[in-house]
């Protein structure tokens, strides 16, 4: 072997502190920091978080390289896996390689188009049920309201259980869990995870609450021995065609908890942000309500009706551009990668900030403006690939994307047919970019 040593040229990036790198910035206003990186340093930005080397990718072609063209060269980041090991375990979101492939094969049938169609009635029925508690003049926290609803929907469709009575306590537990897990992902020192701090205790308690719910789903189903044909039965009974194996109890638990959390939290955020945007854009709201009224003529919506409400889909897509519920994702390079003129060494983290690409003035005209027209069929065709990717892409694209889109459309159509909501005056709504992008504090709205 000849002795050629390649000198790796580092991409530009913000200066950080010795040892700590840019941890402080990332724990502060993350979105501002990552947006500034894009504007000041361009397509590939380098910074450090403690010992971790981060390459922030701001060019859609690079995102496509990682997610779609060469996904085999990247694994989920170890920081995420470590932070989630006692919560999501090795479920679909956090597993890799052969385990991930096998689990995805086993879970996929629950998300086939035909099955999802069967979930539509539950989505509408539960929304209708929620509206029984609504009345003109009442004030609601819209995220809380949507969280309850989507949690009930995922509980019923995937686990055939009504979580109505527990929705409050599980919702709180999930908020605590997400906050604490985000904290762990952005912190390089693992020793802190084990200390009996108040935060760690709260996290443990939160986890117990969620754990008990999932254990109840599994125990009830095992006791009944029934094949209800839903996701849970699928998990418990599935046999992998290729290797003949079944899931272990631990694997069923990890998968169930992943789908329960991932299956409602994101959609609730998408809906809350959509109501927030509509309340500030009465002309768009009016056009949307007119489309819904014309298509439904007072009936509750069904899946078939969705084709006659194209503007509804455009509104939701545009809302997820401005407020992508999963606002960023990352991977660890499994080998040295050449990208954008740089070598990304094996073991470094590539960060793809969905929010930052969705707001890039090089990719979008007036990126901060709410304009559903961007997603009309003619305009959508001109959006550069991976300038818009609220559901990720490639073999690890969100397994629930059709489920979520259908749910968001049905929920909005059912609600807007009867009520509108307006913003309660005098509140400052802020984004809280944890693992998901939440409004904080919850957005207070008044029902009209």
Q: Which residues contribute to the site for ligand HEM (CB under 6 A)?
A: 92-93, 104, 154, 258-259, 262-263, 266-267, 270, 325-326, 329, 390-392, 396, 398-400, 403-404
Shortest spacing between CB 340 and ligand HEM, in angstroms: 20
Nearer to ligand HEM, 372 or 390 (CB): 390
Using CA atoms, how far residue 438 sits from 111, 188, 269, 307, 327, in Å, is 26, 24, 6, 29, 10
Nearer to ligand HEM, 21 or 325 (CB): 325
Nearest in space to 78 (alpha carbons), one of 55, 56, 52, 57 = 52
- The span from the CA of 67 to the CA of 397, in Å, is 8
Nearer to ligand HEM, 84 or 206 (CB): 84
Please count the other Cβ atoms lying within 10 Å of the Cβ belonging to residue 369: 11
Nearer to ligand HEM, 121 or 422 (CB): 121
Per the listing, tokens 């957005």 go with 443
Q: Which residue is nearest to ligand HEM (CB)?
A: 400
Q: Which two tokens stand for residue 170?
A: 């599980």
Shortest spacing between CB 182 and ligand HEM, in angstroms: 15
Shortest spacing between CB 80 and ligand HEM, in angstroms: 8
Shortest spacing between CB 152 and ligand HEM, in angstroms: 13
* Helix, strand, coil percent content, the chain, rounded in steps of 5: 55, 10, 35
Shortest spacing between CB 111 and ligand HEM, in angstroms: 7
Nearer to ligand HEM, 106 or 309 (CB): 106
Q: Which two tokens stand for residue 250?
A: 């631990």
Nearer to ligand HEM, 22 or 266 (CB): 266
The secondary structure of 44-110 as a DSSP string is EEEEEETTEEEEEE--HHHHHIIIII-GGGEEE-HHHHHHHTTTTTTSTTT--HHHHHHHHHHHGGG
Shortest spacing between CB 231 and ligand HEM, in angstroms: 8
Shortest spacing between CB 65 and ligand HEM, in angstroms: 14
Using CA atoms, how far residue 146 sits from 18, 137, 153, 312, 444, in Å, is 43, 18, 10, 18, 12
| Contact in structure between 301 and 414 (CB atoms under 8 Å) | yes
Nearer to ligand HEM, 90 or 144 (CB): 90
């Amino acid at each position: 072997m000849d002795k050629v040593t390649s000198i790796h040229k580092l991409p530009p990036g913000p200066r950080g502190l010795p040892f700590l790198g840019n941890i402080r910035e990332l724990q502060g206003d993350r979105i501002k920091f990552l947006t500034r990186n894009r504007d000041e340093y361009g397509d590939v930005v380098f910074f450090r978080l403690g010992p971790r080397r981060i390459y922030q990718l701001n060019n859609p072609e690079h995102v496509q390289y990682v997610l779609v063209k060469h996904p085999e060269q990247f694994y989920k980041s170890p920081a995420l896996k470590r932070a989630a090991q006692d919560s999501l375990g090795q479920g679909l979101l956090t597993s890799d390689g052969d385990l991930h492939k096998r689990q995805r094969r086993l879970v996929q049938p629950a998300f086939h188009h035909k099955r999802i169609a069967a979930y539509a009635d539950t989505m509408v029925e539960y929304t209708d049920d929620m509206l029984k508690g609504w009345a003109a003049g009442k004030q609601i926290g819209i995220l809380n309201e949507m969280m309850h609803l989507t949690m009930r929907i995922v509980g019923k469709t995937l686990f055939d259980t009504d979580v109505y009575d527990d929705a409050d306590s599980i919702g709180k537990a999930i908020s605590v869990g997400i906050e604490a897990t985000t904290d762990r992902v952005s912190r390089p020192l693992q020793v802190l995870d084990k200390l009996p701090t108040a935060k760690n205790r709260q996290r443990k308690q939160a986890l117990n609450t969620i754990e008990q719910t999932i254990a109840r789903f599994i125990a009830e189903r095992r006791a009944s021995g029934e094949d209800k044909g839903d996701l849970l039965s699928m998990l418990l009974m599935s046999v992998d065609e290729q290797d003949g194996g079944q899931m272990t109890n631990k694997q069923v638990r990890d998968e169930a908890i992943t789908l329960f959390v991932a299956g409602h939290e994101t959609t609730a955020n998408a809906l809350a942000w959509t109501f927030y945007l509509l309340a500030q854009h009465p002309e768009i709201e009016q056009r949307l309500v007119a489309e819904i009224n014309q298509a439904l003529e007072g009936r509750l919506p069904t899946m078939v009706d969705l084709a006659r409400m194209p503007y509804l889909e455009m509104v939701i897509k545009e809302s997820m551009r401005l407020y992508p519920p999963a606002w960023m994702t990352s991977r660890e390079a499994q080998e040295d990668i050449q990208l954008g003129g740089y070598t990304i060494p094996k073991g470094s983290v590539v960060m793809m900030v969905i929010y930052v690409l969705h707001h890039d003035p090089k990719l979008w005209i007036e990126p901060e403006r709410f304009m559903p027209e961007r997603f009309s069929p003619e305009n959508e065709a001109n959006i550069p690939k991976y300038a818009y990717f609220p559901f990720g892409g490639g073999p690890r694209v969100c397994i629930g994307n059709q489920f979520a889109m259908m749910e968001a459309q049905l929920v909005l159509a059912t609600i807007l047919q009867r009520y509108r909501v307006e913003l309660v005056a005098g509140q400052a709504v802020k984004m809280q970019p944890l693992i998901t992008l939440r409004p904080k504090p919850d957005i207070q709205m008044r029902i009209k």
